[in-house]
Amino acid sequence: MTTLAFVLLIIFASLGCIINHRSAVSIRNSGIRLASITLYHGLFSLFLVLIPILILILLWLVLQDPLLELYLLRSVLDEYLAGSSKGETDLVLAEIRSIAGGTIFGQPEGWKLAAGEQLAALQDLFSKLLVFTVSVLALILILIARYKVRSEFRARQNVERIVTWLMIACSVVAIFTTLGIIASLMLETGRFFSLVPITEFLFGLNWEPQIPMREDQVAAEGAFGWIPVFVGTLVITAVALLLSVPVGLMSAIYLNEFANHRVRSISKPVLEILAGVPTIVYGFFAILVVTPAFRRFGDSVGIDVSPNTALAAGGVMGIMLIPFISSFADDALSAVPKSLRDGSLALGATPSETMLKVLFPAAIPGIVGGILLAVSRAIGETMIVVMAAGLIAKLTLNPLDSVTTVTVQIVTLLIGDTSFDNPKTLAAFALGMMLFIVTLIINIFALRIVQKYREIYD
């Protein structure tokens, strides 16, 4: 039925377009000059039909089921569900929904079957109603558009105004996405802090996100202190940077100053391939190759290496970040004015001295900005650590040990079925909030540095 509504919408919109276009053509053919060319009369009708009805259909689809269920709750189910908690109500609703969808598990009570049938009937009725509304509204809009076709009607100006607003709407999506991120994180985090005190989350040294299954369960109180999780993130980030910063900077220096054209033309694509490999592939690489290699090496020299050592996750993340840092450093070095290099070389400095004492210091702000962006990527990187890092939060700085990260915890807390009413799942949103804040601050700071530095030389 929904598909039918969309198909009808397209048909009606095209129909309106054709009708208006033809009537405009006939006006023109009768010798009267039109204010706008015929095409715009057609487009005017197209937009007039398409946009309002598209909005209507989307709103209808979003609102229909919640409103119908609300109606059922208020009218039919009221007597059966009196006094039951929200969780139980949700469970019953889910069952009724699946009955309405045609899948019946076991032997539900009669009133549930009846409610399910009623819901299915209502859904059917409302989807028919949707198709009907769409058709009627479309016909009205086509008539309005047709009525507008006059020689003096400025169709182009109207169409262009609509298009401008459409484009503004497209741009505003970015704002709404940011708002959506902030709103969803804030709301769920707020609910989390109503269950767990904010001070415990920010300053607690224990992270054991369990919830008691039964009321009287002993020793299952969860602990929600994010410090060990954050420290784990920092350990892995530090390992990643220790690998990627020197390698990335050195390769950038070499490619920028010493490499001939052929080496550059081979090396750049290789670095780009490294940058384009999906992170899940890096994660798989970590558990398939890197971790066993570290374990074997540890065994041979007699050091105890944990099976989820931070060294493996951080090392692989470092490989991922090499092209990132290298390309930022390369850009920063290339942006240094040629006069500085020429001057240094003319004074008798060797190319390496020119690089280390003139170009590199001049490029430092841009390079630092790039490294900061790499830090924020490392903190927010998910798949490598989900696959290669540990799950248990340990407050340690030893990279041979197993540590966990913010992103690992978010993913493990939310994988599987989730309901939004216990601290375990809400904790993921609190962690997401902290992740968002930390990366946002780093990003803004880094972009500032990069931009400011660009302005100096431009």
Partner 1 sequence: MKTKMDTINLVKRSLPRRNRNQIILKGLGVLAIVFAFLMLIILMSSLITSGYKALTQTHIEFSVYIDPAKIKPERLPRGNFKGVLQDSIFVHHEGELSKSEQKQLAKILSNGAQFELRDSVISDPGLIGQSITLKVPTSDPYDQLNKNLIDRQTEEEFRRLKDNEILWFDSLDQKGLISKPLNWGLILNTDSRFPELAGLRGALIGSFWALLVCFLISFPLGIGAAIYLEEFATKNRFSNFIEVNINNLAAVPSVVFGLLALAVFIGWLGLPRSAPLVGGMTLALMTMPTIIIATRAALKAVPPSIREAALGVGASRQQVVFGHVLPLAMPGILTGTIIGLAQALGETAPLLLIGMNAFITSAPGTPLDTSTALPTQIFIWADSPERGFVSRASAAILVLLTFLITMNALAIFLRNKFERTW
Choice from 8, 25, 211, 247 touching partner 1 (CB under 8 A): 247
Residue 352 within binding range of partner 1, rule CB under 8 A: yes
What is the footprint of partner 1 within residues 201-230 (CB under 8 A)? none
Q: For residues 67 and 303, which CB has a smaller minimum distance to partner 1 in the complex?
A: 67
Span of 45-53, 113-121, 219-227, 320-328 interacting with partner 1 by CB under 8 A = 320-328
Residue 372 within binding range of partner 1, rule CB under 8 A: no
Instruction: Round to whole Å and give the CA distance between 117 and 365.
Output: 67
> What number of other Cβ atoms are within 10 A of residue 40's Cβ?
22
Q: Which amino acid appears at position 71 of this protein? A: Y
Residue 370 within binding range of partner 1, rule CB under 8 A: no
Span of 87-95, 208-216, 281-289, 390-398 interacting with partner 1 by CB under 8 A = 281-289
What is the footprint of partner 1 within residues 48-67 (CB under 8 A)? 62, 65-66
65 exposed, middle or buried (CB, 10 Å; 0-12, 13-18, 19+)?
Answer: middle
Residue 350 within binding range of partner 1, rule CB under 8 A: yes
Instruction: Round to whole Å and give the CA distance between 205 and 226.
Output: 7
Name the minimum Å distance from CB 41 to partner 1. 15
Residue 440 within binding range of partner 1, rule CB under 8 A: yes
CB 424 within 8 A of CB 211: yes
Residue 11 within binding range of partner 1, rule CB under 8 A: no
Q: Which residue has the tokens 């182009």?
A: 156
Choice from 134, 311, 379, 403 touching partner 1 (CB under 8 A): 379
**Where do the H-state alpha helices sit in 302-337?**
310-335
Residue 344 within binding range of partner 1, rule CB under 8 A: no
Q: Is the dihedral of CA 434, 435, 440, 442 positive or negative?
A: positive
Instruction: Round to whole Å and give the CA distance between 259 and 244.
Output: 20
Name the minimum Å distance from CB 217 to partner 1. 27
> What number of other Cβ atoms are within 10 A of residue 152's Cβ?
9
Angle at 294 between CA 291 and CA 299, to 5 degrees: 125
301 exposed, middle or buried (CB, 10 Å; 0-12, 13-18, 19+)?
Answer: exposed
Q: What is the DSSP letter of 357?
A: I
Q: For residues 259 and 340, which CB has a smaller minimum distance to partner 1 in the complex?
A: 259
Residue 30 within binding range of partner 1, rule CB under 8 A: no
- CA dist 259 → 190, 239, 262, 263, 357 (Å): 54, 28, 8, 6, 19
Nearest to 386 by CA among 367, 411, 364, 360: 411
Residue 263 within binding range of partner 1, rule CB under 8 A: yes
Tell me the backbone φ, ψ of residue 178, rounded to 5 degrees.
-60, -45
Name the minimum Å distance from CB 265 to partner 1. 13
Count residues binding partner 1 (CB under 8 A): 93
Name the minimum Å distance from CB 436 to partner 1. 5
Q: For residues 381 and 401, which CB has a smaller minimum distance to partner 1 in the complex?
A: 381
**Where do the H-state alpha helices sit in 149-260?**
155-195, 198-203, 227-253
Name the minimum Å distance from CB 167 to partner 1. 4
Residue 415 within binding range of partner 1, rule CB under 8 A: yes
Residue 313 within binding range of partner 1, rule CB under 8 A: no
Residue 89 within binding range of partner 1, rule CB under 8 A: no
What is the footprint of partner 1 within residues 163-182 (CB under 8 A)? 163-164, 166-175, 177-178, 180-181
Name the minimum Å distance from CB 430 to partner 1. 11
Q: For residues 118 and 244, which CB has a smaller minimum distance to partner 1 in the complex?
A: 244
Q: For residues 219 and 346, which CB has a smaller minimum distance to partner 1 in the complex?
A: 346
Q: For residues 106 and 278, which CB has a smaller minimum distance to partner 1 in the complex?
A: 278
